[in-house]
Amino acid sequence: MIPPELGGLRLDKVLATLFADYSRSRLQAWIMEGRVWLDGSCPSPKQKVRGGEELKIEIGELPEVESAAAMAEDIPLAIVYEDDAIVVVDKPAGLVVHPGSGNWRGTLLNALLHHFPQLAGVPRAGIVHRLDKDTSGLLVVAKTLVAQTDLIRQLQAKTVCRQYLALVYGQVSADGRIDAPIGRHPTQRTKMAVVEGGREAATRFTVRERFSDCTLVQCQLETGRTHQIRVHMAHKGYPLVGDPVYGRRKHLSHLLDSFPRQALHAWRLGLIHPSTRLPMHWESALPADFSLLLDKLRETQANVA
């Protein structure tokens, strides 16, 4: 039976929530193969549910590595906040959020299952949004299905505040807003790009500090597309320092060239608490590598001046 609180969502998203141990592409394939029944009929992936329908799914055979992905692992976590409904985690750079191709173990999901065993009963171990592997910063995790559904709806309604600090190449002259659809790159399928017919995507950015070759900007997501800030800033002509996918091939200085990851940190998170309905927000200090890079840039700029 589909929980009433999932009413209004597309079937593929409902399955991704209820059967989080399986990849979304695999679940969509099972729908297309006729392995999923909604009130006795075979639906399409985009069909919206009302809530309360009878759901049946014939689970196909899975590769052994994928079926073993959702295992608890003793991986340290920086817990910023915790109560009966949610957990806020400060994710370090280098930690993958969810198991997937090439990263079936050692993820945030595996760590959450170790620290909070009850999350085994919540789809995706309560994860409702992601950060790229090499992006650091704040993530909220739901500890119950009710909290997870509420947070997903807040994300869909664009009421969750997600602010990032990013160091980008070039002199950003003024604050601005990028409203450009994002989809798969037409020829490089592992990349995202601004493309006609892509999904709506909007990012606001504010200048925080300028250096000779780069600018520290604060970015606020209005939507949550894959690689959104990285794609939007590169599209604007200001790729992120250290970005191996969307960044510059020829860098402007050894200092910037030596930074080993995209200079992107999710520093502020705000939302309405799923249970109390009170507004809450958290902030995360820049990690040591990002902070050290800024200190060196300030020192270099002071010496030039």
More confident residue, 44 or 77: 77
- Which residues have CB under 8 Å from 87's CB, separation 6+? 79, 81, 112, 116, 126, 140, 141, 143
Q: Kindly report the average pLDDT of the chain as a whole number.
A: 89
CATH number at residue 131: 3.30.2350.10
> Exposed, middle or buried, 121 (CB in 10 Å: 0-12/13-18/19+)?
exposed
pLDDT at 130 (0 to 100): 92
Domain total for the chain? 3
Last residue of a domain, one of 104, 139, 156: 156
How far apart CA 151 and CA 134 sit, in angstroms, is 24
How far apart CA 176 and CA 162 sit, in angstroms, is 16
The pTM (predicted TM-score) of the whole model is: 0.79
Task: Verify that 115 and 77 share a domain, yes or no.
Answer: yes
Write the DSSP string, 125-148: GGB-S---TT-EEEEEEESSHHHH
* Highest mean pLDDT (candidates 94-103, 113-122, 230-239, 242-251): 230-239
More confident residue, 212 or 3: 212
Contacts 24+ apart (CB under 8 A), 172-175: 172/205, 172/207, 172/210, 172/215, 172/217, 172/238, 174/207, 175/204, 175/205, 175/206, 175/207
Task: Verify that 238 and 148 share a domain, yes or no.
Answer: no
Domain region containing 12: 4-62
- Which residues have CB under 8 Å from 164's CB, separation 6+? 135, 137, 218, 219, 220, 221, 229, 264, 265, 266, 267
Task: Verify that 146 and 222 share a domain, yes or no.
Answer: no
More confident residue, 101 or 50: 50
Least confident piece of the model among 65-79, 255-269, 276-290: 65-79
Task: Verify that 168 and 294 share a domain, yes or no.
Answer: yes
Look up 84 and say whether it is catalytic: no
Task: Verify that 117 and 30 share a domain, yes or no.
Answer: no
Last residue of a domain, one of 62, 94, 112: 62
Task: Please tell me which residue in 132, 134, 150, 243 is annotated as part of the active site.
Answer: 132
* CB neighbours of residue 58 within 10 Å: 10
Task: Verify that 47 and 76 share a domain, yes or no.
Answer: no
How many CA atoms within 13 Å lie on the side-chain side of 49?
26
Q: Could you identify the residue written with the tokens 């200001």?
A: 238
For residues 135 and 289, the answer to whether their CB atoms sit within 8 Å is: no
Mean pLDDT of 234-253: 86
